[in-house]
Amino acid sequence: MEIFDFSKPKNIKKVKAAKKVLAKAPGVNKQQQNKEYYDWALERITQLLMEHNLPLATPTRKLLERPQIWLLGPKRILWRNFVPFCNEINREVQHVSQYFFLELGTEGSIAGESLIIRKKFTSTKIETLIKQYLKEYVLCSMCRSLATSIMKDVESRLYIQECKICMATKTVPKLKISNMEQI
């Protein structure tokens, strides 16, 4: 009577599984089938969106031009492409400039298509404030589109941002201006 039988493999299940894998004919594996199904489903969803709701089917990503910041002496900076930036995001020049003056804690003026800020700041600081402004006052919270507008609700006296793509609405905070007006 033998205690150990070396003629049989120890784990018969593993051997059978390996034989099944080797015996399979080469073909399409499961990952490739899943990818093909995903691509088909994605095309189908895009096709349905285009048939029923065209604005949601088209990509809405828009690249904004970087701010062109120049130094004007030791205590002032010039944002050269300020008015085109405001036009690109569909906001009033006065509203955007007041936001930047409040956030930077300084004063300034608009000269032609430029914004003059009476303090020295880096372009990264301005870019950070642009991102904050876009997040608060421009980007739709649902579809992340730039195609929004701000209107004042007469009854509640709140400012409401409405998206032109998905028709979502949200309230936005008022800007407090130094002469006690609010935009």
How confident is the model at residue 37, as a pLDDT? 86
Beta bridge partners of 144: none
The CA-to-CA distance between both ends of the chain, in Å, stands at 97
Please state, in angstroms and rounded to a whole number, the distance separating the CA atoms of residues 29 and 20: 14
Burial of 180 (0-12, 13-18, 19+ CB in 10 A): exposed
Cβ of 168: how many Cβ atoms within 10 Å? 14
What confidence tens digit (pLDDT) does each residue in 124-138 have? 888 899 899 989 999
How confident is the model at residue 153, as a pLDDT? 84
Please state, in angstroms and rounded to a whole number, the distance separating the CA atoms of residues 102 and 132: 13
Contact 146, 87 (CB under 8 A): no
Render each residue's pLDDT in the chain as its tens digit; 183 residues: 444 444 555 566 666 666 666 666 556 566 777 788 888 888 888 888 777 766 655 555 667 788 888 888 888 999 999 999 999 888 889 989 999 999 989 999 999 889 999 988 888 888 899 899 989 999 888 888 888 888 888 888 888 899 888 888 888 888 765 543 444
pTM for the full model?
0.63
Contact 172, 150 (CB under 8 A): yes
How confident is the model at residue 3, as a pLDDT? 46
